[in-house]
Amino acid sequence: MHTRMRRILSVAFLCGIGMAAVHAVADDNYTDEIEAWRVEHEAQLEADDGWLTVSALFFLREGENSFGSSPRNDLTLPDGVPAEAGVFEVRHGTVTLHAPTGRTLGVNGEAITHAQLYPSERRATLTR
């Protein structure tokens, strides 16, 4: 009877060691996965278009929202930006960017007078 009990305990002990080894490997993989995510997330935050480079956050209202460095604008931007840089027009959830009359704006390297903006365009770059 003791021999049978020893065998059962030996098998249970070996299974426990095996499970601990599998658990340790799973923990290492999980830790590596989390660390890789953190590195990638930090790089995204610090990128030129990441959240850590946001210099201003404005909520647009329905209608026209003027922007530029002049305090007369709805959205006042820092010095170095033209006094009247343009207008964001919001109509029924659609946002259109309009350049000042007779001028153009650069969006993704193209000179435009107006452009519809979409939330999914994460990499759109607006220039003078």
- The more confidently predicted of residues 102 and 11 is 102
Domain hosting 30: range is: 2-52
**What one-letter code names the amino acid at 7?**
R
- Identify whether residues 110 and 79 lie together within a single domain: yes
- Identify whether residues 20 and 70 lie together within a single domain: no
- Identify whether residues 119 and 96 lie together within a single domain: yes
Q: Domain with 82 in it: what CATH number?
A: 2.60.200.20
Say how far apart CA 60 and CA 126 lie, in whole Å.
17
Quote the pTM value: 0.56
- Identify whether residues 41 and 81 lie together within a single domain: no
Average pLDDT, the chain: 81
pLDDT digits (tens, 9 = 90+) for 56-103: 678 899 999 999 999 999 999 888 889 999 999 999 989 999 999 999
Predicted pLDDT of residue 108: 79
- Identify whether residues 73 and 87 lie together within a single domain: yes
- Identify whether residues 62 and 109 lie together within a single domain: yes
- Identify whether residues 105 and 91 lie together within a single domain: yes
- Identify whether residues 75 and 44 lie together within a single domain: no
Residues 97, 114 contacting (CB under 8 angstroms) = yes
- Identify whether residues 88 and 114 lie together within a single domain: yes
- Identify whether residues 123 and 60 lie together within a single domain: yes
Count: domains in the chain: 2
SS (H, E, C) 92-108: CCEEEEECCCCCCEEEC
- Identify whether residues 107 and 60 lie together within a single domain: yes
